[in-house]
Structure 1
Amino acid sequence: MALHMIKLCVGAATVEDLLEWQRTREPGGPWVMRTRQTPKRAADLVDGGSLYRVFKGVILCRQPILAVNTVGEGITARCEVTLDPTPVRVAPTPRRAFQGWRYLEPRDAPADLSIEAFGDIPTELARQLREAGAW
């Protein structure tokens, strides 16, 4: 059964900022999100799960999870989550701040945006439409 992960995206205000950061940090390399704790339900994450990103209190995109690996041993151990390099935009959904990462059940995950229906609208407009209940 698929299970998702959710994490705050600190330092990036938009999906475009995140993409630019990745281009300059690890050009051509795999997209790896590093964290201290290895998820106990890693097999469920790899089985169709995604990493949902929260930008300034709003979930804006997700990236399918390709692999979850523990690197190192003992106190130097850390987790590396390999992600699909192409973010999928989702319906902007408010989310309160938290530390680290959390599991996200599929029933609680926001729906993917249909590019055909909405086009590539600005993030701020999408947020305003969501708050007004028009989206």
Structure 2
Amino acid sequence: MSVHLLIVSVGITSVDQLRANQSRRLIAGPLCHVTKQRPTREDELLDGGSVYWIIKGHIAARQRVLGLERLYDTEGEKCGLMLDSELIETELFPRAPHQGWRYLEADDAPRDLRDIVEESKSDDDSEGELSEEMAAELRSLGLI
């Protein structure tokens, strides 16, 4: 079973800003997010795991982890999380800020927005849709 990582996207205020930032980095080569420590649950992470990005207090997007690289600098060994270039928006899910990264179990991960859109298209009884911001607010209040 796969496991995911939660990472706070420091200095980023929207998924579009993260996407633009990463598209500039893609010019230089594959996406690599550097962390100080190597995940201890490496096998589970590489078995379909993703990085879930926390933006402005909400999980807002994810990217598949393609591999882990050993990197070195003047401070010693680091871990490079090699990420898929596809940034997938998720349902907004409130999450308190933290330092470093945390594990997220697959069952607790928010759904991809594209899956929610597909579900709503197939639901003929739908009377209307909530915006992601409204849905996040209702979730934070425990109403959905």
Identity of aligned residues (%): 35
- 1:131 pairs with one of 109, 131, 137: 137
Q: Which residue of 1 aligns with 2:7?
A: 7
Q: TM-score, normalised by structure 2?
A: 0.80
Q: Which residue of 2 aligns with 1:25?
A: 25
Point out where structure 1 has 5 or more consecutive residues left out of the alignment. 119-124
Equivalents in 1 of 2:47, 2:74: separation in Å? 27
Secondary structure of the residue aligned to 1:72 is strand
What is the Cα deviation at residue 18 of structure 1? 0.6
When residues 126 and 49 of structure 1 are mapped into structure 2, their CA distance, relative to the original with a 3 A threshold, is same
Point out where structure 2 has 5 or more consecutive residues left out of the alignment. 122-130
Matched, 1:76 2:76: yes
Equivalent positions of 1:1-135 (< 5 A) are 1-27=1-27, 29-72=29-72, 75-113=75-113, 114=115, 115-116=117-118, 117=120, 125-132=131-138
Is the radius of gyration larger for structure 1 or structure 2?
A: 2
Contact kept in structure 1, 2:94 and 2:136, CA below 8 Å: no
The code of the aligned residue for 2:132 comes to: A
Q: TM-score, normalised by structure 1?
A: 0.85
